[in-house]
């Protein structure tokens, strides 16, 4: 019998959530996703030691140590990680806009343009890249503009159906609802344990998937942030799933039948909803979990980005 990973590949596009070059080469995902935390970790490995030094040398040649130069060096390092991953996968690589721009639409658009230009300098066209943006109102508006320009976006830190609906209306290419972080919040809030079927993160993604398919919405649903293989199995059949190397290995070693849990052929009818800014913000206000996890996620990514910038500043001064 084939492994559960191979069975999953037959019904879902498998994406690796990592900057680990060796793991990507071994596990052969279609796409790769990164974020500031993943980039920071990758740059601390031997695989990217030269890329880190190259970016520092490049930055020194720019003749400055101000915030703009440090930011440009950080972008260059993130693109180095993304370019290495793009050389290994046949599909897309997601690269994230700075977390501290999550509430600035124009700055997010400008940063996305810089990222795309950085990849183009390395011979990697925009059709191989997804620009990751936090699913704030401002991030969704930035994605709407970028999509019209032909730059596909991955809206991340998505915890609610309201965020998913707003992304669909902006014609976003792909969304990344965070399964595990939703589970984390509910376990802490209620003190309860959940099965794969009752897992609030799984339930959330299934609801979003049903809404999209019932209304003919083309935005791709890519479940993310998994805490265990059971969550992944409970979403088998979802458009895409981005999975850590540890859980990919676990699925690769697992035998038994993997049943399809989601299919566009078995969705239930659901009315279409439209959200303006006022309705979106109220829906988020009413959802404590989504509001808290979105803010926490932005703070976490901003912290790791700040750590990277600190390392760059130290290297420039050396």
Q: Which has more confidence, 64 or 213?
A: 213
What's the mean pLDDT in 169-196?
Answer: 98
pLDDT of residue 63: 78
List active site positions: 132
Residue 223 has pLDDT above 80, yes or no: yes
Q: Report d(CA 7, CA 93) in Å as an integer.
A: 23
| Spatial CA neighbour of 298 closest among 74, 113, 134, 88 | 134
% pLDDT > 70, the chain: 100
Residue 108 has pLDDT above 80, yes or no: yes
* Cα angle: 41, vertex 164, 19; to 5 degrees: 15
pLDDT of residue 155: 98
Residue 14 has pLDDT above 80, yes or no: yes
pLDDT of residue 139: 98
Residue 64 has pLDDT above 90, yes or no: no
What's the chain's average pLDDT?
A: 97
| Spatial CA neighbour of 308 closest among 74, 45, 25 | 74
Strand, helix or coil for residue 222: strand
Q: Which has more confidence, 246 or 1?
A: 246
The secondary structure of 185-196 as a DSSP string is: HHHHHH-----T
Residue with tokens 């159906």: 161
Residue with tokens 């700055």: 107
- The answer to whether 184 and 200 are in contact (CB under 8 A) is no
pLDDT of residue 65: 78
Q: Report d(CA 15, CA 74) in Å as an integer.
A: 24
Pairing state between β 153-158 and 240-243: unpaired
**What's 49-100 look like in SS3?**
HHHHHHHHHHHHHCCCCCHHHHHHHHHHHHHHHHHHHHCCCCCCEEEECCHH
Q: Report d(CA 279, CA 285) in Å as an integer.
A: 10
Residue 119's contacts (CB-CB under 8 Å, 6 or more residues apart) are 79, 82, 83, 86, 95, 125, 126, 128, 129
- The answer to whether 172 and 153 are in contact (CB under 8 A) is yes
pLDDT of residue 62: 87
pLDDT of residue 273: 97
* Cα angle: 102, vertex 157, 113; to 5 degrees: 45
Residue 188 confidence class, pLDDT cut points 50, 70, 90 = very high
Residue 1 has pLDDT above 80, yes or no: no
Residue 7 has pLDDT above 80, yes or no: yes
pLDDT of residue 119: 98
What's the mean pLDDT in 141-168?
Answer: 98
pLDDT of residue 60: 93
- The answer to whether 157 and 135 are in contact (CB under 8 A) is yes
Q: CA-CA distances (angstroms) from residue 171 to 145, 151, 221?
A: 10, 12, 13
Residue 318 has pLDDT above 90, yes or no: no
CA atoms within 13 A on the CB side of 231: 29
- Tokens read off for 104: 């600035």
What's the mean pLDDT in 227-233?
Answer: 98
Query: What does the pLDDT look like over 267-317, one tens digit per residue?
Result: 999 999 999 999 999 999 999 999 999 999 999 999 999 999 999 999 999
Q: CA-CA distances (angstroms) from residue 114 to 72, 98, 146?
A: 9, 12, 12
């Amino acid at each position: 019998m084939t492994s559960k990973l191979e069975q999953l590949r037959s019904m879902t596009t498998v994406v690796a959530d990592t900057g680990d070059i060796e793991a990507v080469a071994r596990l052969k995902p279609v796409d790769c996703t990164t974020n500031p935390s993943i980039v920071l970790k990758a740059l601390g490995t031997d695989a990217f030691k030269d890329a880190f030094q190259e970016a520092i040398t490049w930055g020194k040649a720019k003749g400055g140590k101000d915030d703009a130069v440090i930011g440009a060096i950080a972008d260059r390092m993130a693109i180095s990680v993304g370019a290495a991953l793009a050389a290994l996968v046949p599909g897309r690589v997601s690269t994230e806009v700075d977390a501290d721009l999550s509430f600035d639409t124009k700055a997010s658009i400008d940063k996305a343009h810089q990222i795309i230009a950085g990849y183009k300098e390395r011979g990697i066209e925009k059709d191989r890249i997804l620009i990751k943006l936090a699913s704030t109102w401002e991030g969704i508006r930035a994605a709407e503009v970028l999509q019209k320009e032909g730059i596909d976006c991955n809206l991340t830190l998505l915890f609610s159906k309201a965020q998913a609906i707003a992304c669909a209306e902006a014609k976003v290419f792909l969304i990344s609802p965070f399964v595990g972080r939703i589970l984390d919040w509910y376990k802490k809030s209620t003190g309860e344990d959940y099965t794969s079927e009752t897992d609030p993160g799984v339930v959330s993604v299934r609801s979003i998937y049903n809404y999209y398919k019932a209304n003919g919405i083309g935005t791709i649903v890519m479940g993310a942030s998994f805490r265990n293989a059971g969550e992944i199995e409970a979403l088998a059949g979802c458009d895409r799933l981005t999975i850590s190397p540890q859980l990919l290995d676990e699925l690769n070693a697992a035998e038994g039948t993997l049943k399809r849990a989601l299919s566009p052929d078995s969705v239930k009818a659901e009315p279409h909803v439209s959200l303006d800014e006022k309705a979106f913000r109220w829906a988020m206000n009413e959802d404590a979990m989504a509001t808290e996890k979105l803010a926490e996620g932005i703070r976490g990514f901003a912290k790791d980005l700040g750590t990277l910038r600190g390392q760059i500043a130290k290297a420039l001064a050396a």
